Amino acid sequence: MDLQMPGLNGLEVCRRLKATRPQIRVVLFSADGSDALKMEASTAGADAFVSKFTLATDLIPAITGENYK
C-alpha cells in the first residue's frame, strides 16, 4: 500500500492490519525512501518497504519475503 492515502495513512493502516491479522504481509510503497521513513514503516509492522523508484525486479522479493533486506 502507499503511505499517502486519503483518510488513514499507510503507516496507520499497517499498524491496524498487523494488530488484527499479523499473518498478512504488508509492503509499503513511497516516493520517499529515507532511512527514517523505512524505520517508521518497520516499527509500524511493515514486512517490507519499497521505494517507488526501485527496480521492478526488486518487487517480487519484497512481496514474497524471499531474500528481501
pTM of structure: 0.76
| Residue 5 forms part of a structural domain | no
Please say if the pLDDT value at position 69 is more than 60.
Answer: no
| Own/partner long-range contacts of 57-64 (Cβ < 8 Å, ≥24 apart) | 62/27, 63/25, 63/27
Give the residue, 67 or 12, on which the prediction is more confident: 12
What pLDDT, in 10s, does the model give residues 1-50? Answer: 777 778 888 899 999 999 999 999 898 888 888 899 999 999 999 998 88
Domain with 16, as residue range(s), is 10-64
Give the number of domains in the chain. 1
pLDDT score at 36: 92
Output the domain CATH number for residue 39: 3.40.50.2300
